[in-house]
Amino acid sequence: MSERKRGATRRAVLIGGLAGGLAATIKVVPARATPEQLHAAIRNVVGAAQVRKGRVELIVPPLVENGNAVSLVVAVDSPMTATDYVKSIHVFNEKNPQPNVIGVHLGPRAGKARISTRFRLADTQTVTAIAELSDGTFWSATADLIVTMAACVEGL
Amino acid sequence: MARPLINVPAKVKRGQVFEIKTLISHIMETGFRFTTTGGRIPRDIVTSFSCRYNGEEIFRADLYPAIAANPFIAFFTVATESGTLEFNWIGDNGFAETASAKITVE
């Protein structure tokens, strides 16, 4: 009887300790995700305008082995005429130390709204591309990437 | 030293949309890394890239630390007339590099 009671107490103590430890861990781990910074960066570009999904194609590999150089292609569905063209394309990430990736300014002379570059990824995350059209509308696309080896975090 | 590589077709037809590929050797140090002694490695990146076609700007890009080392940028333009394409990179610590390519429009 007394042994059972002692066992229960020990279990309670263990569970309590475990829960406390878990809570402490959650509190201590710094959040790399910066949704506020990301929203601020996007708002900085689009202002108060509404961003709609579509017209933008974001071509990235779904599985990234090395986050130090990831190929990125953004293509926007636009006729690229003098009156209807893509003004700019901005790419944002979710979990790198900084939300911006690249900002590109185009004009009707581009002929084709398609850009390619290589970028870094610090973690498995979602990448967003936003295009500003000459009529003032904003269109976006997102892509999820799984990163096995992250960039930015390793020392020298 | 930073050595730019430019890939532009030598001859294009008038009105044709062609791709321009550029690459410049640069470490693109993010400013978010630390040495073994704990000191922060200062940021050293290319911040801006632009391309002019016979003096008129046709493409401009703002780069951030998230761009990989040796920035590769490819884009398109319409062949209007023969002339030169001028490329310009600007970065931290007074980094500035230019390159040019000739293009013949038939």
Tell me the backbone φ, ψ of residue A36, rounded to 5 degrees.
-65, -45
Q: Does A111 touch chain B (CB under 8 A)?
A: yes
Report if pTM > 0.90: no
Question: Mean of the pLDDT values across residues A104-131?
Answer: 94
Q: Where are the domains of chain A?
A: 1-30, 35-147
Tell me which DSSP letter residue A10 carries. Answer: H
- CA B33 to chain CA centroid, Å, is 24
Determine the structural domain holding residue B49 and report its residue range. Answer: 4-105
Amino acid at B100: S
Angle at B93 between CA B89 and CA B97, to 5 degrees: 25
Tell me the CB-side half-sphere exposure of residue A29, using CA atoms within 13 A. Answer: 8
ipTM of the complex: 0.91
* pLDDT, tens digit, 9 for 90 and up, residues B58-69: 999 999 999 999
* pLDDT, tens digit, 9 for 90 and up, residues A5-31: 555 566 665 655 555 554 444 433 333
Residue A111: list chain B partners with CB under 8 A. Answer: 17, 76-78
Are A70 and A119 in contact by the 8 Å Cβ rule? The answer is yes
* A to B CB pairs, distance under 8 Å: 105
Based on the structure, what is the number of domains in chain B?
1
CATH of A35-147, one of 2.60.40.2470, 3.40.50.170, 3.30.1330.30, 2.30.30.60: 2.60.40.2470
- Return the residue in A117, A127, A145 with the most chain B beta carbons within 10 A, the one to mutate for interface testing: A117
Q: Do A117 and B71 touch (CB under 8 A)?
A: yes
